[in-house]
A and B are shown apart, each in its own frame.
Chain A
Amino acid sequence: MSGNAHEIHLTINGKDISAPPYLSVIQALWHAGYPRVKSVGCLEGVCGSCRVMVRRADSRQVTTELGCQVLVEEGMQVNFLLFPTPTHHRYQLDEIKNSWEVQARFHQFFPEAEKCRHCGGCNTTCPKGIQVEKGVELASKGKFREAGELFGECVLCNLCQTACPESIAPNHVGLFSRRVTAYFHTRPSNLIRRLERLRKGELQVVT
């Protein structure tokens, strides 16, 4: 710990907290002696657990971010959000007989997707800067590969789902798009050739 660091003052979950400037808001809460185990995950920004609402001193705007990625700032107000109920969408990829059926089945599994009002709430809440709304639109049109590519950095934090007035689960739409792309279109010849040789018993391992 560097001794000369001055302390930052902020509010987390309504509690006044002082912490050195190099801490994240989760670390600051712990540093001040408050317990916190829920809404803590990988601490690296890839699990989507530590959803927080943040208002900075110079702004009236409230943003949604991942707590492990937010460094403390003077006068900042932070509130942890608990994780919402998970998606109610149930589907199995092997229910879809072939790739010609994907679009029709998509609208059965995600009937809300085509009701998008283009309010942009999902884009605003996304802590990864994903073009969420565009992804939903592309998926609705059956452009699953393109839609899925937009969600490459999605951590399933569900903030877009929380923001959506039509209860579309845009992140799950994105993941569906990614999954059908792999399921129906990934056919690597190097892998298939190797599986065939293994099936014929040609590659036994001698221990």
Chain B
Amino acid sequence: MKGTPIEQALAEYTAAAQRPAPGAQPDTRELLRAFHPDHDAHAKVTLQVGPNKGDICHRQVAQLLQADARIDEADLAGSPVTETDVLVIGGGGAGCAAALVAQQQGARVIIATKLRLGDSNTVMAEGGIQASIEKDDTPQMHFDDTIRASRQVVDRELVAEMVSDAPDVIRWLIQQGMQFDLDDYGDLMTRRAGGTSAARVVYYRDYTGLEMMRVLREAIRTSDIEVWDYSPAVELLSSESGYCAGAVISSLKERQHKLVRAKAVILATGGIGRMHLNEFPTSNHFGATGDGLVLAYRLGARLRDLDSFQYHPSGLAYPQHLAGTLITEGVRSAGAYLLNGRGERFVDELQPRDHVAAAIIRECAEGRGISTGSGSGGVWLDTPSVELRNPGLFEARFPKLIQLGKKCGIDPRHQPMLIYPTLHYQNGGVVIDRNGQTNVPGLFCIGEASGGVHGRNRLMGNSLLDIISFGRRAGAHAAGRAHDRGHKKISIEHLSNLRRELTLAGMPLDSKGPLLFPGYANFENDSDYAGLRKNSEREGMQ
């Protein structure tokens, strides 16, 4: 990357409380078209099979959606079957909220999670959660901000339900035992998210997700909900009448497949960051490999906006081993400027994330960035200016950032940090209604795996809201199915359709989905788990 060398940029940098405003700004649509990674023509393909046949999709996501299954009928011979009312797949914030509500309403609940309970993007969320509670704010303003940021491609009913739920979501979290930052009178403190018209984000320091996740995890662990950890779902089960009737779980502990027969299944598997779309680094958890999209799609669930992803403007760009690590938008919300290699502001820092990310990519592409000398680069996040204006703010409100600084050998109070956009969020996902129900009966989907809530661009703080709002809704509705009689026959017959369609479309059957783990973890070569691979494949190898 061309640009000012980092040593030179640092030598030229001086902290200043105020800096001149950026120059005239281009139209957002033009900026996005020219510089946002979603608009890279090489990244897009048309889906050949499935409910979204003919739709545009990211190339790497399409590859998984159109891959063969990991299992055959033969793999399931002798697999034990467990019965339950509600099966939740995924142990992040959305899955835990759904499980707690379903169990409270009398349903028997199993949570199956690929890693451990709480290993999720939720635990890493920093900035906070949106709820219109200040007197100069309303749910309508929250709605309008969300619609505007979504670039208008959004399910308006879902947004209306979510913003109206928001204050009660905060009450529910407090009743689970979650703490928030309070002022001297015990009122909730709020901060402003980029692209919004009021201070609406409530938070616990820059550990909002950690605080939320440890409380929900504890609420589950101290209850009667059954938790299956190290238990990724590799396929959903279907009934003779086309319902979702459970799932096939690959137990990494017992090294065998297990079937769960359920009256309702809630997919809460999270996002796709660890697919490293367009070779971007990611702020996401190790398990974020888009498994839920693949499982739902094969069973006939419709997806949406599969070409739209969020690149968070402030991913750490230096040092290299921490590339992609998130720095919360809260820092820009507190007034941090973005500076290019010439030490100039180049964008209104509180524009929505897609706009700011595209502006950073533009500065670097046009040679006004700061180069690390090893091919990468970025722009300054001007943290010292905030410290000058509000001494002590970082220590009080951003302890996680101070910790990150220590790992980098940088004190963000006195030295700016080099940032570049990092792959952060899957904007689209499985189409749902107001209760998280998909078009496949018995199958619910919530959180990042679902689509329609954030359109093509998500606001800070709307994701933690989304997971609890729709998590509670789906949990309640799934529990309502507990009185059904249950399904007589469960099978993976829908896979024959998948294979027929793939063959007819001339697609190769050599790649397998869901991905489960990023390639660099070498899961597919781990002899410990050989027994979980397809029967046919094992025989072929011998």
Contact = CB atoms under 8 A, between A and B. Distances in A.
A194 interface: yes
B207 interface: yes
Contact of A186 (B131, B182, B215): B182
Contacts of A44: 124, 325-326
B214 A154 contact: yes
Contact of A205 (B139, B186, B209, B287): B139
Given A44-B124, A186-B179, A90 B222 contact: yes
B522 A34 contact: yes
Majority secondary structure, A binding face? loop
A97 interface: no
B46 interface: no
Interface string B56-92: 0000000000000000000000000000000000000
B507 interface: no
Interface in B261-295: 285-287
A41 B119 contact: yes
Contacts, number: 179
Interface string B502-534: 000000000000000100111101101000000
Interface stretch (A6-14, A57-65, A131-139, A175-183): A175-183
B128 to A, nearest CB: 14
B374 A186 contact: no
A72 to B, nearest CB: 10
A23 B322 CA distance: 9
Nearest to B282: A43
A101 to B, nearest CB: 16
Contact of B179 (A37, A92, A182): A182
Interface residues of A, number: 61
Contacts of A34: 522
Contact of B140 (A91, A175, A203): A203
B539 interface: no
B395 interface: no
Nearest to A20: B321
B496 interface: no
Contacts of A187: 186
A43 B177 CA distance: 26
29 contacts: A1-B374, A2-B374, A27-B321, A30-B521, A40-B115, A40-B521, A42-B124, A43-B286, A44-B325, A45-B403, A46-B124, A46-B400, A83-B116, A86-B221, A90-B223, A93-B176, A93-B177, A152-B205, A154-B214, A156-B217, A178-B177, A179-B218, A186-B186, A190-B188, A191-B188, A195-B171, A205-B139, A205-B163, A207-B143
Given A27-B321, A49-B115, A207-B143, 11 more contacts: A22-B321, A35-B521, A35-B525, A38-B115, A40-B115, A43-B286, A86-B227, A182-B174, A186-B174, A203-B138, A203-B164
Closest 7 interchain pairs by CB? A179-B177, A35-B526, A35-B522, A22-B321, A188-B188, A207-B156, A205-B160
Interface of A: 1-2, 22-24, 27, 30, 33-38, 40-47, 49, 69, 71, 83, 86-87, 89-93, 148, 152-156, 172, 175-176, 178-183, 186-191, 193-195, 198, 203, 205-207
